[in-house]
Amino acid sequence: MKTLLALLATILLPYTLLAQPFKLDSLPYAYDALAPHLDARTMEIHHTKHHQAYVNNLNKAIAGTPLEKMTLTELMLNISRMGDAIRNNGGGHYNHDLFWKILSPKPALMPKGDLMSAITAQYGTLDSLKREINRAAMGQFGSGWAWLVLTPDRRLAVVSTPNQDNPLMDVAKVHGIPILGIDVWEHAYYLNYQNRRADYLTAVWNVIDWSVVAENYAKALKSPILDMLK
């Protein structure tokens, strides 16, 4: 038995050494589940090529360093101390992980409870908030993201960031915990919408699940990260 265990250990050791701290999770729905709003081919390429590349490159950038023991959130909070590879790829992993989770083939199209109350208090109506987010997304020159965040003073804010930055990063102009993010890199929509970013933004609201956004809001309200962002 000892000989067999030793043999297995020898065989598995190279794979153990290659273990990666971050991984790409499967989507909770099929690639074609969000069609016609987000087409299957775009979703597949976006997830298996673009997001996978961010994960691979992030793992490569932190390999063999103490950063392997940090969570993705910890990396974001201290991103000014990291190199561009971690900023770009760590941000890409964090941002997309949030994006996939707020999408659904059977979304709740209206928020409820505390989130709806906060939206009404600050923006008047959900449609007004959507217009603010779309304005931020359209105003982002080149690649980037539009966000709805909870700020350290526990208010909602709509912001945009370039490239794969996000408001959790210590380099962000406006800090907050992202509860909703919309990807406006062209790879998110170009196969179906070409240069028509506005059409993509109109379509994506049909698959954003406000029940998940509300859960994100509830968690953010209780998160100690808010105090860290002050």
Cβ count near 50 (within 10 Å)? 15
How confident is the prediction for the chain on average, in pLDDT? 92
Residue reference for tokens 């090529």: 49
Q: What is the pLDDT of residue 230?
A: 85
**Mean pLDDT in residue range 148-162:** 98
**Mean pLDDT in residue range 74-89:** 97
Q: What is the pLDDT of residue 16?
A: 34
| CATH architecture, range 38-230 | 3-Layer(bab) Sandwich (3.55)
User: Which strands sit side by side in the sheet containing 177-183, from one edge to the other?
Assistant: 156-162, 144-150, 177-183
Cβ count near 118 (within 10 Å)? 19
Q: What is the pLDDT of residue 20?
A: 62
What share of the chain in percent tops pLDDT 90? 90
Q: What angle do CA 160, 214, 224 make, to 5 degrees?
A: 75
Three-class secondary structure of residue 204 per DSSP: helix
**Mean pLDDT in residue range 1-25:** 49
Per-residue pLDDT for 148 more than 50? yes
pTM of the model: 0.90
Quote the tokens at residue 166: 């996000």
The whole-angstrom separation of Cα 173 and Cα 135 is 18
Q: What is the 3-state secondary structure (H, E, C) of 54-95?
A: HHHHHHHHHCCCHHHHCCHHHHHHCHHHCCHHHHHHHHHHHH
Cβ count near 133 (within 10 Å)? 22
